[in-house]
Structure 1
Amino acid sequence: MTSYDVTAVSGARPESVYRLLTVGATWPEWSPIDAVRIEGGGDAGSPQGVGATRVFRTGRNESHEEIVELVPDRRMVYVMRSGAFRTYRATVDLAPVGQGTRIHWYGSFRAPRGTGWLWRLYLTWYMRRMVNGLAAYPVT
């Protein structure tokens, strides 16, 4: 398995960051993702709860991801159901720091043989853009 690990600090409180993170429709506003489609699922009648599947499109690439764990205002864990990797699991942990939030986004994946080092570089760069965009997004 190969992994990435990125962190940023937001001036927003954890509950505000969590809301942005868990509402898929906001992702194109603060990340390099072009479009999101919610396919459904989810527990307790929430279309974006545990079990929800979301389709993210960046350029011509699509990935289908399922939310597998939510801890309100603290954590979101998701896995890729189809896309570039056979196995992919990511966690976003939120922790209060002062009046803001420390965002720790990390994941592991199984890349095609011999390409793990390249994918690690790319995903570290890409996910750094994700976490920095989330941290910088103005929350009202």
Structure 2
Amino acid sequence: MSSLTVTATPRSSAPAAVVYAALLDAESWPSWSSYYEVEWDLPARVDRPARAGDRRTVCSRVGRVCCRERIVELVPDWRFSYEQAAGPFESHRGSVDLARVSDGGTDVTWSAIYRHALPLLNTVRRQRLQILVHDLASYANSIVSRHS
């Protein structure tokens, strides 16, 4: 079986801090993504921020698939990386990288590597990642608009 790498990069008008906060805000995901539930095992709070090693469950509306993810890297306002800990895509690793742009916005690059790619799913995986990262950027834009 071959591997598959998928990358999508939209631009958000929101600052990197807003995009990063949206990624960590599990309660907001059902309002802007194809996931009906994203739940941290130990929810991040003001007194206990999310950290590498934390786990969460992500459940998709598409196919009603739930996966367990382990956070492998958190760099505030810059990078969020995870890997599947359990579920149908255990060999999946993803990273969201944020790059500030001169107009105050952020380039959002979401990359995913599937070590065991299934050719029939490759197009779907590309489309879903493109939609997911676009929805994240749009959601961050809406946060900025509401507070303007």
TM-score by length of 2: 0.83
Matched, 1:108 2:113: yes
On the 8 A contact 1:41/1:48 being kept in 2, the answer is yes
Distance 1:53 1:47 in 2: 13
Matched-pair identity in %? 31
On the 8 A contact 1:41/1:53 being kept in 2, the answer is no
Name structure 1 gaps, 5 residues minimum. none
* SS at structure 2 position matched to 1:93: strand
Amino acid at match of 1:50: A
The Cα of 1:121 is off from its aligned counterpart by 1.2
CA RMSD, Structure 1 to Structure 2 (Å) = 1.8
On the 8 A contact 1:85/1:110 being kept in 2, the answer is no
Distance 1:47 1:64 in 2: 19
Q: Which residue in the other structure is 2:86 paired with? A: 82
The Cα of 1:47 is off from its aligned counterpart by 5.8
Name structure 2 gaps, 5 residues minimum. none
Matched, 1:72 2:76: yes
* Bigger fraction of residues in strand: 1
Amino acid at match of 1:99: G
After superposition, residues 10-21 of structure 1 pair within 5 angstroms as 10-21=12-23
Aligned counterpart in structure 1 of residue 66 of structure 2, from 51, 62, 66 = 62
* SS at structure 2 position matched to 1:54: strand
In the TM superposition, structure 1's runs of 4+ consecutive aligned residues that sit over 4 Å from their partners are none
TM-score by length of 1: 0.88
Distance 2:9 2:70 in 1: 22
Q: How many residues align?
A: 135
